[in-house]
């Protein structure tokens, strides 16, 4: 028997003033998996989440949880009957209630079982011993963990999280993301997490659904979405990109960096060859000597350093290219700060570039 996904969303659509802000969004999330709905501000992420939660009414589509429609033709269960947990950016705790009462807020029934569940969750979020405190006695990170425990207490089948970390101090965030992920995995809910930060999605997601203008444009494991973007914007959403334009002839595009294979692009079609900064390689061996047309990674092209910045893990170096005066950016691991005006040879890793039809 094929198990239904924990959460299934079919062709969900929402219009405001005749404009579809969410259009035909479909996705599914298995129990114990985290899907990140990733996209720029205003692309429709929160509206999608709110429709799944039941606090926003879709114009069309279906929401199915454990094989049962909670929204669809003739069905519209209220939020509290959907078995979903919610966590938003401003996860306001009840200020007048203790931590334990906050966590137990959504729990019904037997007092002893309730106390047991509260203690279990406080331990999971590393706040054992905080039960009698009030929210104002806690740091932002601790409050966030209480909110997580509160949302998870009734064992929701689906956890919906809308930018839950964006209110937190940058320094705390990575640690809290990791510990949140551990707790979510232990609890086994299907998680749909909304974020506009690619780093957060890469860090947390089993699957990324990349959204733009109300639509999901690409869906897959973080590795695939990063390394096989569907178009130039999808590539650009994760990092700065370099673009070299050329014209495809006989499935080959000649550039100052040598020829690139461009199969599937018709003769005479303009193509964009897209390279992330870390895949633009400085050819240190050839520095100061001439280009070597037999090099495995194509032909090196010469550029003059405009500026170089050290960002901690990497250095970003901007070059003005001799061949057309365009600017290309290379990322070099560690410290590399050549002086402006220095000339260096650059190469492009053929296995790491993306080719798309040129966009005007
Ligand atoms: P995101 O969460 O990705 O930033 P939202 O889902 O909040 O995006 O919003 C998507 C679009 O829908 C935005 O253009 C927003 O202005 C619009 N929108 C959201 N809610 C309403 C509403 N109640 N009435 C009209 N427009 C809305
Ligand atoms: Mg939003």
- pLDDT of amino acid 175: 87
Provide the whole-model pTM: 0.91
* Integer Cα distance of 54 and 332 in angstroms: 47
* Integer Cα distance of 265 and 359 in angstroms: 13
Closest-CA residue, ligand 1 atom 14, reads 42
**Structural domains of the chain, ranges and CATH numbers in brackets:** 7-236 (3.40.50.300), 239-357 (2.40.50.140)
Determine the average pLDDT of the residues in 79-101.
91
Q: Given its phi and psi angles, is residue 265 left (phi above 0), alpha (psi -120 to 50 degrees) or beta?
A: beta
- pLDDT of amino acid 173: 86
Which ligand does the CA of 12 lie closest to?
A: 1
Closest-CA residue, ligand 1 atom 22, reads 16
Query: What would the pLDDT profile of 18-27 be if each residue is shown by its tens digit?
Result: 999 999 999 9
- Phi–psi pair at 160, nearest 5 degrees: -110, 120
- pLDDT of amino acid 294: 47
Atom number of ligand 1 nearest to Cα 163: 2
- pLDDT of amino acid 69: 97
2 pLDDT higher than 80 = no
Distance 104 CA to ligand 2 centre (A): 27
What percentage of the chain exceeds 90 in pLDDT?
85
Distance 58 CA to ligand 1 centre (A): 13
Atom number of ligand 1 nearest to Cα 194: 2
CA-to-CA separations, 326 to 165, 231, 256, 339, 350, in angstroms, rounded: 38, 22, 12, 19, 20
Coil, strand or helix at 307: strand
For ligand 1, pick from 18, 36, 42 the residue to mutate: most ligand atoms within 8 Å of CB: 42
* Integer Cα distance of 264 and 199 in angstroms: 32
Determine the average pLDDT of the residues in 88-112.
90
User: Which residue would you say has higher pLDDT here, 1 or 277?
Assistant: 277
Query: What would the pLDDT profile of 250-274 be if each residue is shown by its tens digit?
Result: 999 999 999 999 999 999 999 999 9
196 and 38 Cβ atoms separated by less than 8 Å: yes
The verdict on the CB of residue 184 being under 6 Å from ligand 1 is no
Which ligand does the CA of 163 lie closest to?
A: 2
Q: What is the 8-class DSSP label of residue 205?
A: -
Query: What would the pLDDT profile of 296-342 be if each residue is shown by its tens digit?
Result: 567 899 999 999 999 999 999 999 999 999 999 999 999 999 999 99
Query: What would the pLDDT profile of 206-256 be if each residue is shown by its tens digit?
Result: 999 999 999 999 999 999 999 999 999 999 999 999 999 999 999 999 999
Distance 162 CA to ligand 2 centre (A): 7
The verdict on the CB of residue 42 being under 6 Å from ligand 1 is yes
- pLDDT of amino acid 293: 46
Q: How confident is the model at residue 4 (pLDDT cuts 50, 70, 90)?
A: confident
Atom number of ligand 1 nearest to Cα 14: 12
CA angle 57, 65, 44 (to 5 degrees): 40
Determine the average pLDDT of the residues in 90-104.
92
Coil, strand or helix at 322: coil
What percentage of the chain exceeds 70 in pLDDT?
96
- pLDDT of amino acid 140: 87
Which ligand does the CA of 45 lie closest to?
A: 1
């Amino acid at each position: 028997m094929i198990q239904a996904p924990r959460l299934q969303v079919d062709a969900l659509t929402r219009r405001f003033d005749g404009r579809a802000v969410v259009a035909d969004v479909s996705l599914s999330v298995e129990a114990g998996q985290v899907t990140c709905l990733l996209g720029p501000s205003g692309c429709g992420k929160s509206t999608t989440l709110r429709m799944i939660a039941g606090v926003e009414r879709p114009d069309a589509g279906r929401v199915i949880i454990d094989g049962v429609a909670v929204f669809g033709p003739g069905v519209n269960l209220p939020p509290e009957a959907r078995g979903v947990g919610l966590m938003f950016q401003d996860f306001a705790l009840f200020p007048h209630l203790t931590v334990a009462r906050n966590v137990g807020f959504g729990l019904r029934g037997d007092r002893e079982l309730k106390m047991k569940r509260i203690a279990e969750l406080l331990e999971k979020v590393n706040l054992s011993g905080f039960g009698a405190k009030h929210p104002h006695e806690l740091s932002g990170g601790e409050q966030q963990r209480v909110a997580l425990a509160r949302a998870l207490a009734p064992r929701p089948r689906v956890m919906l999280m809308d930018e839950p970390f964006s209110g937190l101090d940058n320094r705390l965030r990575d640690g809290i993301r990791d510990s949140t992920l551990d707790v979510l995995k232990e609890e086994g809910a299907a998680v749909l997490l909304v974020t506009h930060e690619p780093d957060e999605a890469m860090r947390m997601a089993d699957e990324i659904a990349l959204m733009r203008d109300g639509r999901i444009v690409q869906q897959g494991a973080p590795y695939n979405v990063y390394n096989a973007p569907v178009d130039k914007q999808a590539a650009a959403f994760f990092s700065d990109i370099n673009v070299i334009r050329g014209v495809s002839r006989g499935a080959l595009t000649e550039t100052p960096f040598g020829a690139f294979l461009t199969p599937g692009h018709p003769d005479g079609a303009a193509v964009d060859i897209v390279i992330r900064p870390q895949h633009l390689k400085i050819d240190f061996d050839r520095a100061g000597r001439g280009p070597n047309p037999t090099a495995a990674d194509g032909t090196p092209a010469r550029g003059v350093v405009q500026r170089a910045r050290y960002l901690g893990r990497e250095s970003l170096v901007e070059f003005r290219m001799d061949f057309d005066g365009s600017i290309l950016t290379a990322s070099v691991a560690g410290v590399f700060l050549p002086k402006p005006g220095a000339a260096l040879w650059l190469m492009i890793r053929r296995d790491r570039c993306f080719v798309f039809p040129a966009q005007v």
